[in-house]
Structure 1
Amino acid sequence: MVRSQHINNPSCYRASHFLIGNQLGTLERHVVTQQNQASCGGPAVDLEYRWWGPSGLHVKRTGETTENLTLALKDPKPIGRNRAMSTSSLQSFLDKPRVFVLSDISNEPDDAESLVRFLLYSNQFDTEGIVAVTSTWMKTKVCPQDMHKIIDGYAGVVDNLNNHTHPDHPYPTAETLRSLVKSGPPVYGFEGVGTDKPLTDGHRLLLDRIEASSDRPLWVLVWGGTNVLAQVLLTIKEKYPADKAASLRAKLRVYTISDQDDTSAWIRAEFPDIFYISSVHAWNQYGLAAWTGIAGDRYYGFDQGGPDFSKMTKSWIKKNIQVGPLGSTYPDYIFIPEGDTPTFLYLIQNGLGVREHPEYGSWGGRYALTDLSGRGLSGRHYSDTTDAVVGADGKTYTSNQATIWRWRDTFQNDFASRIQWSLHPDFKAANHHPVLCVNDSWGHEALELEIEAGEDIVFDASSSYDPDGDSLSFKWWQYKEPTATQWLVRFEVSNLEIENLDPDARRVKRIMIQTMNKDLRGAAEAGSAPDNIAEVMKAFGADDWNAN
C-alpha cells in the first residue's frame, strides 16, 4: 500500500483510499460488534475489510490491520453510479506546466471567453501570471479589471470545482489568481520596447518568473500583442552575459495566436533560440492560421462541410456554457469564439499531446519546425502542418485548421462537463474522466516503446476504469501525420493492421508494417536509395501526383 488518505465516516466505519499495486480504490474498515452490527461504539470482536477497486472487485479479510493486510481479489461486484468512488479515484498528474498568460482582453469578447475556459482547467496548470496587454486591435489601453470580473465569477464556484478533481491537484484560490493579474504598458508594440522604457508590474512579474530557480519550462501563452515579452527579453539581454541570457531564454516556451503587433517577428529574428509556436501568414490574414480551427470555419469559410459547428452555435453555448456564476461571465461572441483557447488546449493533460513535441499534435493543433538546418533565423520556430480528417459530411479534408477542429466535439463536451462541475458540490451529480492505463502505464504521459519493423505488439487498456462506474468504450486508430516528413503522407507512412483481442477492444494487437516496399528498402540498404521524391513515388507505383 503506497499511499492512503483517511476519511472518517459517521460512527460505523473508516474508509481509506489506497494505491495497491496498480489498483486505486477504497478500503473500508468495518468494526463488527457482538450484535453483528456495524457500530464504532460497541465492543469490537472482529474487523472486516472491503476493497472497492476500479474494476469493482470486492475483498473481505478479517482480524487484520491495514499495516499487514494482504488483499486477495475475489468476488467481482460492479460499482455502478450508485457507488461512485471519491475524488481520490480520479486521474492524477506527474507534474503541471508553468503557465503565464498575456491577453488583450476586451478588444473583443474572445479573450474573456478563453479566460473562462482557462480557469476551468487551472487545476492542471501552475499559473504564474495573467497580464493585460495591447494589440493591433486595442493599441492605447489595457483592461485588467475585466480579468478580475471573471475571477469574481470563479470565486463563486471554486469550492464546487474542488469536489470534482483529485485532491493532489486542487484549483487555485480566487485570491491567488487575483494576485497574478498585472498590466503591461498601454501602448502599441515597439512604442513600449527599448532600453529607456520603464518596466510595468506586468514586465516585472514575467521577468521574475523567467529568472526563478525552477528547472521547469515557462509556457508564455500570448492572446494579444507580444511587446511585454519583447521588453523582458531585451532587459535580459542587457542585464546578463550572453551565456546566462541564453540559459534564461532556454526556459521559455511561447505559443502565440499569430502576430498581433510589430514585435513578434522581431522576437523570432532576434532570438531564434526561443521555442516558439505561431502560425505565420500575411498580416491580418487570420483565416490562414491553424488556430482558427477552434471555431472559425463559418466566419472564414474554410473546410465547409467538414467541421461540425453544432457545439459552437450561440444556442448551444447559451444552454451548456453560459450558466452559473462563472459560466455567466462568458460573453456572446462577435467574430469567432475563443480564438486564443488553442494556446492552452495544447497543454491540457489528456494523453493526446507531448509538450516538447508540437509535431505530435494535440487539442491545440499540430506544428512542426519551419527550419531544420539549424542555421536559419528561426531555428526553433514551429508553424502550421496539416491533418487529413474525415468531416461531418463523410468527405476527407486536409488543412492546418483540421489539426484542431478534428477534436472539437470532444473538447466542447469536456468544457460543458466542467461547467457542470462548477454548478454541483456533489461528486455524484456530474461526470468525470476515465482513468487510463495502457500496458501497466498509468496516466497521460507518452508511452514510448522500442520495437522492430514488422514486429507485433499488444496494447492492453483493460485496467482502465471510470470513476463514476460508467461503462467504457475503446477506439484505437493510427495517427499517420506525425510520422510523416512531407505533405504526401500516404507515400511515406504505411497502414497498421489493428486486431481486436477482445469484444470491447480493451486489448488490441498492432502489426508493424515496413514503411517502404521491399525493393525500395533493398536499394537503400545497398546504398542506391532514391535521391528525390519523384523516385520515391515511382518506387511506390505512384507516378501520378494526384494518385489516391
Structure 2
Amino acid sequence: MDGSNRSISVNITVTKTQRPRCIITQDAEVDDMNSLIHVLLYSNEVDIQGIVQSSSKFHWKGVAGQKEEKYTKPYRWPGTEWMQKYLNAYQKVYPNLKKHDKSYPAPAYLKSVTKVGNIGYKGEMDSVTEGSELIKKKILDNDERTLYLLAWGGTNTISRALKDIEKEYKGTKQWDAIRKKIINKVVIPACGEQDETYSEYIAEEWPEIKFMSCSQMSSYAYMWRTQPEDSSKKTLYADFMLKNLIRKHGALLDNYVTWGDGTYLDGEEPGSQFGTNEDLLDSLDWWGGFNPVQKYQRYDFLSEGDSPTFFMLLDTGLRTLEDVTNGGFSGRYAKADKKNSKGQEVNYWSPVKDTYVKEDGNTMQVESSWKYIDDIQNDFASRADWCIVNDYAKANHAPKVSVTEGTDIKASAGETLKLHAIATDPDDDYVTVSWSEYTDASTTETALTLKGAASDTISFKIPEDAKAGQKIHLIVQAQDDGEHTLTHYQQVIITIK
C-alpha cells in the first residue's frame, strides 16, 4: 500500500481455551447442596464430567449386617433424589444462562453424568458402583487435561475407582505406564479428610497423587462469624443474601439454604437443621464448641465449606492452577511434611494463612481465601441475576485485565520496571485499575514501593537485596462500576535474575 511493493505474511494459530475438568463427589450435606448450586452457575467455565454422591463420617445410607451397629442404619441421610431435583431447577434457568454464555452445558448432559457412588457407611468401598465406574473411566481416558476429583465428602468412591484400576492392571505390562499416567493426571482437592480412605488407601498405594486439603472453614463455611467485624463480612449478611441470592432469582437459587430460613432438611438430625431449629440461631456455642464473634441472624450465609475446591478452577486471573503456592480464591498452599506407613513422602498440600489489613490499619493472620470473599459473593450474585435476566445487555459481566509486558518477567536486583495494565469490560462499564504486591506469596525480604498503584501504570524498583531465584508477586485488579462491582485480576510473577 505504501508503494514499496513489499508484503508481509503472518501465521496466526487459534486455539480453543481448554476449560479445567472435574468430577464432583459429595456427601449431600446442606453445604454440599449449596456448593452444587454455586458451581452449576460456573459450569460454563468448568467442564463438569461427573456429579457423584458418596458417604463420609458425617453422612451415610447404612448397610445391613455391618459389625458396627451404627452403620446398619442411615445417619443424617437425605437420600439421592435431591440431585435430580437440583438439575431440574437448573434446567428451568438454563435458557436464561445461555443468553449470557453459550458454553453452559445442557441439563440432559449434566443429568447423564450424575451418579450414585459408594454410600453405605464411612469409608465404604465394598463394591463397584455407577459413581466409581464413571470416575474410573475418566481417569483412564485419553483426555490430556488434569482431572480434578473434588472431594466434598469422603474419598471412598474415588478410592474404589483407583482400587479397581489397581486390581485390573497391577502385574500386567501396562501397569507402570498406567500408574504414571494417573499420578500425572489426577489431583484431589478435598474439604479435608472426611473418612479414612485417603490415609489408609490412596496415601499408601498412590502417595504421588497430589492431595489438597482445601479447608477454608472460617472464610466460607459454618464458622465465618468467628472472623472479626470488617467489610469483608458484608456480603455474607442477611441483607445481601436476601436481595442478591435467595429471593426472586429463579428455580435454582430457590433451593439455596441460609440460617433460619425455614428449610427442612430431609434425614438431618435436629442439631443440624439450620433452617428450622431456632435454638441454633441463639447459640454461641454451636456444633463443635467454637464461639462466633456474634450470633447468626436469620438469612445469614450458612456455609459452602466445599466450594474452595472448585474456586481454583475459575478464570479469576490468579494463578493457583499453575502453582498452588501462588494463592487465589481457594487460598494459598504449602507442601506438608507427611509420610505414609511405608515411610514414603506423600504429595499432600495444606492451606497457609495470609496477612490481612483491617479497616483500622491493623493486621492479622487469616485464611488466605478471606480477602476474596467480597469478590466471590458479588460474582455469585451476578450469576444469580443471569438466571432471571434473558437479555445480555441488562445484566453485569466481569471485566478482564491484561498486562502489556506479560505475566512472567525476569529482572535484576536494583532494576526499575514499568508495567502497563489494559482493562476491558463487556458491558462498557467504567473500570478502576489498581496494583498491589502479594507480599505473603513473594519470597523477597523487602517490600516494593509502587508508584501509580491506583492507576493502570506502575513503576517500581526491584530491591537491592533481592537474590537470584527469588520471586515477587504483583496483583493487578480491575473492578467495574456495574451492578455488584465485579472484579477480575491478573497475577504477575517477577523472578530475580
Where 1:121 maps in the other structure, the secondary structure is coil
Q: Return closer, same or farther for 1:253/1:305 CA change in 2, 3 Å cut-off.
A: same
Equivalent position to 2:308, from 318, 337, 342:
342
1:496-518 Cα deviation digits (max 9, x unpaired): 121129xx61111232113459x
Name the structure 1 match of 2:250: 324
- In the TM superposition, 1:313-462 aligns within 5 A as 313-322=237-246, 323-333=249-259, 334=274, 336-371=302-337, 377-399=344-366, 401=367, 403-439=368-404, 447-462=407-422
Where 2:100 maps in the other structure, the secondary structure is coil
- In the TM superposition, 1:88-237 aligns within 5 A as 94-105=17-28, 107=29, 109-140=30-61, 143-165=79-101, 167=102, 170-190=103-123, 192-193=124-125, 197-237=126-166
Q: Distance in 1 between matches of 2:36 and 2:157?
A: 19
TM superposition shift of 1:128: 0.7
Q: Distance in 1 between matches of 2:413 and 2:47?
A: 40
Is the CA contact 2:146–2:185 (under 8 Å) kept in the aligned structure 1?
Answer: yes
Q: Return closer, same or farther for 1:392/1:499 CA change in 2, 3 Å cut-off.
A: closer
Say whether residues 1:274 and 2:209 are aligned partners.
yes
Is the CA contact 1:305–1:392 (under 8 Å) kept in the aligned structure 2?
Answer: no
Q: Distance in 2 between matches of 1:256 and 1:354?
A: 15
Equivalent position to 2:179, from 230, 245, 250:
245
The amino acid of 2:463's aligned partner reads I
Is the CA contact 1:306–1:393 (under 8 Å) kept in the aligned structure 2?
Answer: no
Is the CA contact 1:496–1:513 (under 8 Å) kept in the aligned structure 2?
Answer: yes
Q: Distance in 1 between matches of 2:418 and 2:100?
A: 33
Q: Return closer, same or farther for 1:393/1:321 CA change in 2, 3 Å cut-off.
A: farther
Is the CA contact 2:96–2:387 (under 8 Å) kept in the aligned structure 1?
Answer: yes
Is the CA contact 2:405–2:419 (under 8 Å) kept in the aligned structure 1?
Answer: no
Judge which range, 422-431 or 244-253, deviates more.
244-253
The amino acid of 2:311's aligned partner reads L
Q: Distance in 2 between matches of 1:102 and 1:216?
A: 19
Equivalent position to 2:440, from 472, 478, 481:
481
- Identity of counterpart residues, as a percentage? 29
Extract unaligned runs of 5+ from structure 2. Answer: 1-14, 62-76, 260-273, 275-286, 288-301, 471-497
Is the CA contact 1:227–1:263 (under 8 Å) kept in the aligned structure 2?
Answer: yes
Q: Distance in 2 between matches of 1:393 and 1:423?
A: 39
TM superposition shift of 1:437: 2.2
Name the structure 2 match of 1:470: 429
Where 2:163 maps in the other structure, the secondary structure is helix
Q: Distance in 2 between matches of 1:419 and 1:394?
A: 34
Q: CA RMSD in A?
A: 2.6
Q: Return closer, same or farther for 1:480/1:515 CA change in 2, 3 Å cut-off.
A: farther
1:193-221 Cα deviation digits (max 9, x unpaired): 3xxx3210001000000001011110011
Q: Distance in 2 between matches of 1:483 and 1:495?
A: 9
Is the CA contact 1:104–1:142 (under 8 Å) kept in the aligned structure 2?
Answer: no
Judge which range, 156-165 or 170-179, deviates more.
156-165
TM superposition shift of 1:316: 2.3
Q: Return closer, same or farther for 1:392/1:308 CA change in 2, 3 Å cut-off.
A: farther
TM superposition shift of 1:332: 2.4
Count of aligned pairs? 391
Larger Rg: 1
The amino acid of 1:189's aligned partner reads K
- In the TM superposition, 1:39-50 aligns within 5 A as none
Is the CA contact 2:232–2:371 (under 8 Å) kept in the aligned structure 1?
Answer: no
Where 1:385 maps in the other structure, the secondary structure is strand
Q: Distance in 1 between matches of 2:99 and 2:205?
A: 46
Q: Return closer, same or farther for 1:273/1:158 CA change in 2, 3 Å cut-off.
A: same
Name the structure 1 match of 2:9: none
Is the CA contact 1:453–1:514 (under 8 Å) kept in the aligned structure 2?
Answer: yes
Q: Return closer, same or farther for 1:259/1:372 CA change in 2, 3 Å cut-off.
A: closer
**Alignment TM-score, normalising by the size of structure 1:** 0.67
Q: Distance in 2 between matches of 1:162 and 1:453?
A: 49
TM superposition shift of 1:297: 4.3
Q: Distance in 2 between matches of 1:274 and 1:513?
A: 38
1:443-467 Cα deviation digits (max 9, x unpaired): xxxx2112222222222113x2111
Q: Distance in 2 between matches of 1:481 and 1:395?
A: 16
Q: Distance in 1 between matches of 2:327 and 2:364?
A: 17
Q: Distance in 2 between matches of 1:115 and 1:146?
A: 11
Q: Return closer, same or farther for 1:137/1:297 CA change in 2, 3 Å cut-off.
A: closer
1:371-393 Cα deviation digits (max 9, x unpaired): 39999644321102110011345
The amino acid of 2:89's aligned partner reads G
The amino acid of 2:109's aligned partner reads T
TM superposition shift of 1:440: 6.5
Q: Return closer, same or farther for 1:296/1:472 CA change in 2, 3 Å cut-off.
A: same
Where 1:155 maps in the other structure, the secondary structure is helix
Is the CA contact 1:142–1:186 (under 8 Å) kept in the aligned structure 2?
Answer: no
Q: Return closer, same or farther for 1:123/1:371 CA change in 2, 3 Å cut-off.
A: same
Q: Distance in 2 between matches of 1:457 and 1:211?
A: 46
Q: Distance in 1 between matches of 2:162 and 2:78?
A: 21
Equivalent position to 1:508, from 441, 445, 458:
458
The amino acid of 2:458's aligned partner reads V
Q: Distance in 1 between matches of 2:79 and 2:23?
A: 17
Where 1:209 maps in the other structure, the secondary structure is helix
- In the TM superposition, 1:531-546 aligns within 5 A as none
Where 2:131 maps in the other structure, the secondary structure is helix
Q: Distance in 1 between matches of 2:161 and 2:50?
A: 14
Is the CA contact 1:144–1:181 (under 8 Å) kept in the aligned structure 2?
Answer: no
Q: Distance in 2 between matches of 1:397 and 1:357?
A: 25
Q: Return closer, same or farther for 1:437/1:131 CA change in 2, 3 Å cut-off.
A: same
Say whether residues 1:494 and 2:430 are aligned partners.
no
**Alignment TM-score, normalising by the size of structure 2:** 0.73
Q: Distance in 1 between matches of 2:463 and 2:16?
A: 33
Q: Return closer, same or farther for 1:327/1:438 CA change in 2, 3 Å cut-off.
A: same
The amino acid of 2:220's aligned partner reads I
Extract unaligned runs of 5+ from structure 1. Answer: 1-91, 280-288, 442-446, 485-491, 522-548
1:271-293 Cα deviation digits (max 9, x unpaired): 210011016xxxxxxxxx53432
Q: Distance in 1 between matches of 2:357 and 2:345?
A: 33
